[in-house]
């Protein structure tokens, strides 16, 4: 009988997560979200459906939003991974996007929030000039049972507007302007 905990299937992975290098010994078919949450204790990334539908597990892979429940951790080797823990400051300060969510009441239970934050962070980095309609389309990729989405759209739009204003005023260091 095969021992399910056999070490034959284990492999050593080196992952770049939030700017830090992590070495993890794990099964070859373990998902990225399980490695993040259970092996590295980065529990800000949530798990809902585990089937790629809800988006609660969204992280950035080389700057692009990706469902961490649909990736094997091994597939993330060599990529830069960012989780929601990367958004705020080391002293617990909120990022501008997180402040916008708070200010616009874009969360209620908060279960979906890490996924929406990383979805928005990736999208606004790629398209800082996004219109509200474009934001509405992007937000439709993830599920929220509480808010009705409008406040999430408002929050992301407010953050995008504030970043554009800061860039126009030359405050490039805090906004990632081109
Ligand atoms: S938990 Fe990954 S998409 Fe739902
Ligand atoms: S705030 Fe509850 S699921 Fe979105």
Pairing of strands 64-67, 58-61: antiparallel
pLDDT in tens, 99-130: 999 999 999 999 999 999 999 999 999 999 99
Quote the pLDDT of residue 75.
97
pLDDT at 1 over 70: no
Quote the pLDDT of residue 127.
97
Pairing of strands 64-67, 80-82: unpaired
Band (3; pLDDT cuts 50, 70, 90) = very low
pTM for the model: 0.93
Q: For ligand 1, say whether the CB of 54 is within 6 Å of any of its atoms.
A: yes
Give the number of whichever ligand sits closest to the CA of residue 70: 1
Alpha helices, DSSP H, located in the chain: 32-34, 96-103, 113-126, 132-139, 150-168
Residues 6+ apart with CB under 8 A from 174: 96, 166
Band (177; pLDDT cuts 50, 70, 90) = confident
pLDDT in tens, 46-68: 999 999 999 999 999 999 999 99
Q: For ligand 2, say whether the CB of 148 is within 6 Å of any of its atoms.
A: no
pLDDT in tens, 23-33: 999 999 999 99
Give the number of whichever ligand sits closest to the CA of residue 143: 2
Rounded to the nearest angstrom, the distance between the alpha carbon of 55 and the centre of ligand 2 is: 12
Rounded to the nearest angstrom, the distance between the alpha carbon of 85 and the centre of ligand 1 is: 18
The CA distance from 76 to 15, in Å, is 7
């Amino acid at each position: 009988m095969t021992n399910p905990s056999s070490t034959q299937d284990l492999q050593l992975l080196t992952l770049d997560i939030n700017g830090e290098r992590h070495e993890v010994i794990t099964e070859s078919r373990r998902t990225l979200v399980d490695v993040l949450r259970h092996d590295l204790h980065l529990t800000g990334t949530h798990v809902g459906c585990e089937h790629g539908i809800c988006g609660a597990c969204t992280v950035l892979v080389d700057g692009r939003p990706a469902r961490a429940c649909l990736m094997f951790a091994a597939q993330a080797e060599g990529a830069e991974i960012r989780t929601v823990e990367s958004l705020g400051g080391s002293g617990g300060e909120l990022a501008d996007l997180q402040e916008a969510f708070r200010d616009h009441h874009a969360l209620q239970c908060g279960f979906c929030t890490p996924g929406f934050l990383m979805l928005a962070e990736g999208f606004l980095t790629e398209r800082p000039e996004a219109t509200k309609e474009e934001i509405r389309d992007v937000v439709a990729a993830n599920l929220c049972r509480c808010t009705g989405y409008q406040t999430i759209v408002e929050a992301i739009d407010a953050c995008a507007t504030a970043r554009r204003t800061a860039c126009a005023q030359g405050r490039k260091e805090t906004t990632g302007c081109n």
